A and B are shown apart, each in its own frame.
Chain A
């Protein structure tokens, strides 16, 4: 066995140190120009016998999730064999178990993961960047970690090296932002927010949920409505499933009191994020156009606010 001489050791150390120093210097240099986002398959429009928007009601969260997807024409409308799927629930804090309605219901997320794997998805990753607590503790406390792993999916800790400044070509206020690249590269992005109160946005729904995959989310607040819509134009989720099995009507987005939770036993699903948000708003007695980012998203042509013009299928399970 050859041993390392002191000289060799020092040389090796110097080289490794040099590499680290150079890379450190590079990484703190001026911001690179924003990269173009890869284009994802657009959210598939419904065929004649498929609902534009599905609303499933019942007390079994997993069952109504599956039922809503069936009404849209089945998961195969969205997921093809071999697809790389990312599911983005709302796991904003590690404070409370799911009944407090601050985080998406684990059964809804797990049901979607199962469906995707059943449709032959290559892998299903679930992730969020909590603002309170670490990803691992938040995944655990929300119950989503265990539920997803049991369904065969993976929980991903979002790494700082996978964010990149990305151009937002359609953006009206922001034209580039630091975005988690895997979310843009995935074949299928399923956005699974929980419907809840938010003081500035009024409601935190699907488009608002996308703030969990960017850096510096707090800088969005200066012009929150338009900036969320700009971001949504970049993300274009393949499928939106709003968890309204229970909703948080006050003191959101963190919650903390069961007095603010209403049991609504509903799951809303659509390829159209704007329509899904517009419908979810009605559960709070609001209309889509009263939510600035939903209105801005519709103005940008990302979807429709007009619930009377689309085919809504209401089902029970």
Chain B
């Protein structure tokens, strides 16, 4: 008598774990934003990310204990294969949920050589890290998802709901309900100040493209492009336990049809490719004959380590990817931006050594997610190509709050050091400079001391001088003109943020040099 197939139940367990992991990921996003959790919890997922850990440690030549849990992921992968991809990774889960019907059939028409792209990206990323450049870590899937959530989805959600509520709230029948609902959400979920992010359209476009590629093949990103998936694929070639097609197989092909990542080879060489398998258990659940078993691969003739695949990168292509990685670093380092960064490229507190910062920053966007003013923005080309999507303070959009040190607390790699509040208050980010041609008291004889009023240091870094002037109406007046006391300025930028002059502020934070 055949025992009932236990795998559909395990498959449900896997789906439950995915849901829990995804909800936890989103919860941490909100909770960190609103400081509902201890800061060190905010970067939980990144600590288990071996690509981030390996990249940052190779690039900075330092053991980063905070990223040590990535070893657990490596261990689990060695034992069981790409559990991370199939069970945990919130980006993978999202792409699985957003799968397109019939994409798997279409995927068979794609050349299997697409699968090598991820290895080539990984090779270029790691050789870059060896030369101290983390630029390709922008493609880490957790970083991609965090960046998209932070700069596109959460601000969009806030704007849409606020707009909807603003329309409904003044209408009497809705006032009570909307007021109550909005009161519950405002604060815990929706920030009071609408966050805005530079370059969010590009980030949205990339995200939509990745989701759209799902139409060509289920989890296109995971199969073909993901560098973290590639790293785990390499490890899972020597994993101990894996699904293996056994003797009871009738070659019905059901397993291959249900496999979400196309890891089951049909035809003469009917087998599951360990490097591509995400251990989702769908094939085991679909098998009518108990023909697939989850077994130790040790000692099996063709099982361990996994044999090379036809689409594995050739030595020549691998060398080309490594060469491209090295050349990329050389080109980035010889760009003008590398020597003369934009004067407005202001780094987060404690991260003023540009080279050291760039060698550690995971491009994970956690700091931007947690910054209460959304002053931390994704860098575009202000620091050269290499600094793409690293965080920079844009004071006109949001200041570095004197009462906050959150960014350094959530930074997984320590690129932004975890300064205590008292130390962070003395960290100099830059220095404010007054534009006397635009400043209201200087240029127009109009009273205004907003920059001085806002300055959080004591004694203030802006001093006022009372002078007799001719005002905007041509009349004699006495106004207070602001002067910088540069040695006291910490470059927090609240003066620039609050300056009432339209457009660019009449006081702006600039790199101060060290």
Give the interface of A toward B (CB within 8 A): 19-20, 23-24, 26-28, 93-95, 129, 131-138, 141, 156-162, 164, 198-200, 218-219, 221-224, 251, 253-257, 260
Contact = CB atoms under 8 A, between A and B. Distances in A.
B166 A27 contact: yes
B313 interface: no
Interface string B151-193: 0000000011011111111100000001100110011000111
Contacts of A160: 162, 166, 192, 194
Contacts of B454: 131-132, 254
Interface string B428-446: 0000000000001000001
B453 A199 contact: yes
7 contacts: A27-B163, A95-B403, A133-B372, A156-B183, A161-B182, A198-B453, A221-B450
Contacts of B499: 218
Given A27-B163, A160-B162, A224-B447, A136 B456 contact: no
Contacts of B35: 136-137
Interface string B391-403: 0000000010111
Contact of B404 (A28, A137, A158, A257): A137
B402 A93 contact: yes
B269 interface: no
Interface of B: 34-35, 159-160, 162-170, 178-179, 182-183, 186-187, 191-194, 372, 399, 401-404, 440, 446-450, 452-460, 464, 480, 494, 498-500
A33 to B, nearest CB: 13
A223 B473 CA distance: 14
A28 B494 CA distance: 27
A20 B403 contact: no
Contact of B159 (A24, A164, A253): A24
A94 B403 contact: yes
A79 B164 CA distance: 35
Nearest to A32: B170
B372 A137 contact: yes
B152 to A, nearest CB: 15
Contacts of A224: 447
Contacts of B458: 251, 254-257, 260
Contact of B167 (A27, A219, A223): A27
A20 B160 contact: yes
Contacts of A256: 456-458
Contacts of A133: 372, 401-404
Contacts of A255: 458
A156 B192 CA distance: 11
Given A138-B403, A156-B183, 16 more contacts: A23-B163, A23-B168, A24-B164, A28-B163, A93-B456, A132-B402, A132-B494, A134-B192, A135-B187, A159-B186, A161-B165, A218-B500, A221-B500, A251-B458, A255-B458, A260-B458
4 A-B pairs closest in CB distance: A256-B458, A94-B403, A23-B167, A24-B163
Nearest to B494: A132
B506 to A, nearest CB: 12
Nearest to A163: B166
Contacts of B159: 24
Contact of A251 (B178, B448, B460): B460
Nearest to A255: B458
A219 B160 contact: no
B164 A200 contact: no
A136 B166 contact: no
Contacts of B186: 157, 159
Nearest to A258: B458
A131 B455 CA distance: 11
A127 B168 CA distance: 23
B451 to A, nearest CB: 10
A164 B175 CA distance: 14
Nearest to B448: A221
A24 B160 contact: yes
B401 A161 contact: no
Contacts of B464: 199
B444 to A, nearest CB: 10
A223 B471 CA distance: 13
A251 B456 contact: no
Nearest to B34: A136
Contacts of A260: 458
Contacts of A136: 34-35, 187
B189 to A, nearest CB: 11
Contacts of B167: 23, 26-27
A222 B34 CA distance: 35
A84 B160 CA distance: 30
Contacts of A20: 160, 163-164
Contacts of B163: 20, 23-24, 26-28
A156 to B, nearest CB: 8
Contact of A222 (B168, B193, B403, B447): B447
B182 to A, nearest CB: 6
A159 B458 CA distance: 31
B162 A222 contact: no
Contacts of A200: 447-449, 453, 480
B281 to A, nearest CB: 24
A205 to B, nearest CB: 15
A132 B457 CA distance: 12
Nearest to A260: B458
A236 B170 CA distance: 23
B187 A157 contact: yes
B204 to A, nearest CB: 15
Contacts of A157: 183, 186-187, 192
A258 to B, nearest CB: 10
Contacts of B191: 134
B456 A135 contact: no
Nearest to A35: B170
Nearest to B178: A161
B164 A19 contact: yes
Contacts of A131: 454, 494, 498
Nearest to B463: A199
A137 B192 CA distance: 12
Contact of B455 (A158, A164, A254): A254
A12 to B, nearest CB: 15
A219 B34 CA distance: 29
A23 B164 contact: yes
Contacts of A27: 163, 166-167
A141 B169 contact: no
Contacts of B399: 132
Contacts of A257: 458-459
Nearest to A140: B35
B403 A141 contact: yes
B169 A222 contact: no
B187 A95 contact: no
Contacts of B179: 162
A95 B402 contact: yes
B257 to A, nearest CB: 20
A257 B179 CA distance: 40
A222 B450 CA distance: 10
A19 B169 CA distance: 14
Q: Which of A129, A136, A253 has the most CB of B within 10 A?
A: A136
Contacts of B192: 129, 134-135, 157-160
